[in-house]
Amino acid sequence: MLKLLLIPVLFVVACVFAGLYGAVHNQISYTVSQEYFTKFKFHQFGLIHFQDRLGAAFVGWNAAWWMGIVIGIVLIPLGLMIRGNANYFWSMIRTFGIVALTTLIVGLVALSISFVIVDPATVGEFTRYNNEIDNDAAFVRAGTMHNFSYLGGLVGIITGAVAIFRQRKRYAEIESRPDTQQDAT
């Protein structure tokens, strides 16, 4: 019964993980292209104030927190297979961390590849919200990281599911071990 009461808490935790991921992710992409934010994302999100790293973090949080719901819909019920309330709770916390890390890795791999593939001489010229982009290649690289992070979220759900099955197996093995302690009497 307590496990079922943990479900709403875990949804909140999943949303916090996703939102924090978005805020951190945007610090990386802001480093790659400030214009991606100043000439695109800040306009897209209607952000008038804090058009700097704080604004990028705000945009990241708002763009990503809801992925916690998506991730939770898939992984939280799957995690119910893990026996024990504490085991379930802490396994889900680890799982959300695995999802975030997987998503970050996919985004960073895409960003790295974009530095090889995106050439300033061959990338087209971009305009967003009537703003000419000065460094089109950097803009495209930051956008590549953003776009591939959604794919990373999907891959993260898969790695999270694998983590849940591994945790379930681990706890089942621990429970099935014979008691190794001797009676003192």
Domain boundaries, the chain: 2-174
Residue 185 pLDDT exceeds 60: no
CA distance 14 to 100: 10
82-123 pLDDT per residue, tens? 999 999 999 999 999 999 999 999 999 999 999 999 988 878
- β-strands 131-132, 127-128 pairing: antiparallel
Beta carbons of 157 and 73 less than 8 angstroms apart:
no
136-148 pLDDT per residue, tens? 999 999 999 999 9
- Report pTM: 0.86
10 Å CB burial of residue 128 (0-12, 13-18, 19+) is middle
Q: Which of 100, 115, 75, 92 is nearest to 152 (CA)?
A: 100
CA distance 109 to 152: 10
β-strand partners of 131: 128
- Helix H or strand E encompassing 165: helix 136-176
141-176 pLDDT per residue, tens? 999 999 999 999 999 999 999 999 999 888 888 777
CA distance 15 to 105: 19
How much of the chain is in helix, strand and coil states, percent to nearest 5? Answer: 75, 0, 20
CA distance 160 to 153: 10
Cα 96 from chain centroid (whole Å): 8
Model pLDDT, residue 184: 42
